């Protein structure tokens, strides 16, 4: 809507909110992300309204934009931290998780089958799987996983009050700090141990609080995004029997994942960039320090890039590169894991339940309302 009514770059002024710029055309989104750390900063130090008192201290999004982690660092600071994380979070580590992801997927599908013919796919499948995978990745003991899941559900729920979020966030951070200490004494074949080794190899330049920040960010960034990606793909496939038939016949689950990331993404906007000086984006002038929200899913459905039927979920379209995992220095750290997990989830779900269908009209599905993510609150299906 912004794109057709306002152009590629729109000023959004909602009552009671600080105005933001929304960048909503593929070319403009690409232009902004490609200049991360050059023209645009992600460091809240460069956000005028956060520093001059315009935004109150209890602003709910403050926790997201004001934390000390990969997503709030630029340039050399970001490269240093990302380089250390990349050494631990390797493609080989992700690939090695595949058999466990398959097992956990099958266990959830078994349990779902025991619940009768009509189930909520979000509650029983797309929501528990990603947090189980992340716990496995971190090496969190089985009897502590329920606690992690409960905390992340509170943090992700849109009914959580700012006070509850602060309390739960504090509990989770304290748990992660203690967990890292325990791992030092009892290393394993997991991401936490690999991070500890990267820290030691690097002469301890990776501080303990940065380590906690990395685990915290991976848990938060890797959970809800994947929950919604799986559910959005199921909705898209079940709403169009021809597409589902094609996915089955051609074993095109990878393509289904990419098409979801392009046109039905779980991440609709990525959070703010702050111009480091006055800039022009697609001809629009934005002043230094004014927040820019980057419309990832608007870019994915831009007809100028993806053609007249850009809104259509179509597995036969030419797979042009999309921006669903971002671009540039902040490109999603977890993309290989998300792709692997979503492919296993979709192929296993549809082969286990060949007659699976939605038990709700596509237009009647209630969606999580957030400016960052989008996906069904619940998804009644008939197995």
The residues binding ligand HEM (CB under 6 A) are 70-71, 82, 217-218, 221-222, 225-226, 229, 261, 265-267, 270-271, 296, 324-326, 330, 332-334, 337-338
Q: Which residues contact 33 (CB under 8 A, 6 or more apart)?
A: 294, 323, 326, 327, 328, 330
- Residue 26 CA: distances (Å) to CA of 295, 296, 318: 9, 8, 16
Smallest gap, in angstroms, from Cβ of residue 359 to ligand HEM?
25
Q: What are phi and psi of 42, to 5 degrees?
A: -110, 5
Q: Quick one: 183 or 330, whose CB is closer to ligand HEM? A: 330
Q: Quick one: 241 or 321, whose CB is closer to ligand HEM? A: 321
Burial of residue 224, with CB atoms counted within 10 A of its CB: 0-12 exposed, 13-18 middle, 19 or more buried = buried
Smallest gap, in angstroms, from Cβ of residue 156 to ligand HEM?
13
**Which residue, judged by CB position, is nearest to ligand HEM in the bound state?**
334
Smallest gap, in angstroms, from Cβ of residue 237 to ligand HEM?
16
Cα(337)–Cα(340) distance, integer angstroms: 5
Cα(343)–Cα(331) distance, integer angstroms: 20
| Token representation of residue 94 | 């992700």
Q: Quick one: 346 or 383, whose CB is closer to ligand HEM? A: 346
Q: Quick one: 291 or 326, whose CB is closer to ligand HEM? A: 326
Q: Tell me the sheet residues that pair with 23.
A: 9, 294
Cα(20)–Cα(377) distance, integer angstroms: 27
Smallest gap, in angstroms, from Cβ of residue 223 to ligand HEM?
8
Q: Quick one: 8 or 326, whose CB is closer to ligand HEM? A: 326
- Residue 153 CA: distances (Å) to CA of 79, 86, 166, 170: 31, 27, 14, 15
Smallest gap, in angstroms, from Cβ of residue 102 to ligand HEM?
16
3-state secondary structure of 67: coil
Smallest gap, in angstroms, from Cβ of residue 300 to ligand HEM?
10
Smallest gap, in angstroms, from Cβ of residue 294 to ligand HEM?
7
Smallest gap, in angstroms, from Cβ of residue 85 to ligand HEM?
7
Q: Quick one: 138 or 350, whose CB is closer to ligand HEM? A: 138
Beta strands 269-275 and 292-295 are: antiparallel
Cα(324)–Cα(257) distance, integer angstroms: 11
Q: Quick one: 131 or 383, whose CB is closer to ligand HEM? A: 131
Q: Quick one: 314 or 341, whose CB is closer to ligand HEM? A: 341
Closest CA to 147 of 164, 133, 135, 158: 135
Cα(204)–Cα(211) distance, integer angstroms: 11
Smallest gap, in angstroms, from Cβ of residue 242 to ligand HEM?
25
Q: Quick one: 41 or 266, whose CB is closer to ligand HEM? A: 266
Closest CA to 132 of 195, 217, 219: 219
């Amino acid at each position: 809507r912004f794109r057709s009514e306002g152009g590629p770059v729109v000023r959004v002024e909602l009552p009671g909110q600080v105005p933001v710029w929304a960048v909503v055309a593929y070319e403009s989104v690409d232009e902004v992300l490609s200049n991360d750390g050059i023209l645009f900063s992600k460091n809240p130090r460069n956000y005028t309204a956060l520093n001059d008192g315009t935004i109150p201290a209890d602003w709910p999004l403050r926790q997201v934009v004001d934390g000390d982690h990969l997503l709030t660092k630029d340039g050399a600071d970001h490269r240093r931290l990302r380089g250390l994380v990349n050494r631990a979070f390797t493609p080989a580590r992700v690939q090695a998780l595949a058999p466990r992801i398959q097992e956990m997927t099958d266990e959830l599908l078994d349990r779902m089958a025991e619940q009768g013919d009509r189930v909520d796919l979000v509650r029983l499948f797309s929501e528990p799987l990603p947090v189980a995978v992340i716990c496995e990745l971190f090496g969190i003991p089985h009897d502590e996983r329920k606690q992690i899941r409960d905390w992340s559900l509170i943090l992700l729920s849109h009914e959580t009050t700012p006070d509850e979020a602060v309390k739960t966030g504090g509990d989770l951070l304290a748990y992660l700090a203690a967990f890292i200490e325990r791992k030092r004494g009892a290393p394993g074949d997991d991401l936490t141990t690999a991070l500890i080794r990267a820290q030691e190899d690097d002469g301890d330049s990776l501080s303990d609080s940065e380590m906690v920040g990395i685990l915290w960010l991976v848990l938060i960034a890797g959970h809800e995004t994947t929950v919604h990606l799986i559910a959005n793909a199921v909705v898209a496939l079940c709403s169009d029997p021809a597409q589902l038939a094609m996915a089955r016949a051609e074993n095109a689950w990878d393509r289904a994942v990419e098409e979801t990331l392009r046109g039905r993404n779980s991440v609709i906007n990525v959070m703010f960039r702050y111009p480091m000086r006055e800039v022009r984006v697609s001809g629009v002038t934005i002043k230094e320090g004014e927040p820019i929200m980057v419309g990832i899913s608007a870019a994915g459905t831009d007809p100028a890039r993806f053609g007249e039927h850009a809104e259509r979920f179509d597995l036969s379209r030419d797979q042009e590169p999309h921006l669903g995992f971002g671009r540039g220095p902040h490109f999603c750290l977890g993309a290989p894991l998300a792709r692997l997990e979503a492919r296993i989830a979709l192929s296993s779900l549809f082969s286990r339940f060949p007659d699976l269908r939605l038990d709700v009209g596509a237009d009647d599905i209630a969606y999580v309302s957030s400016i960052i993510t989008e996906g069904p609150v619940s998804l009644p299906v008939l197995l």
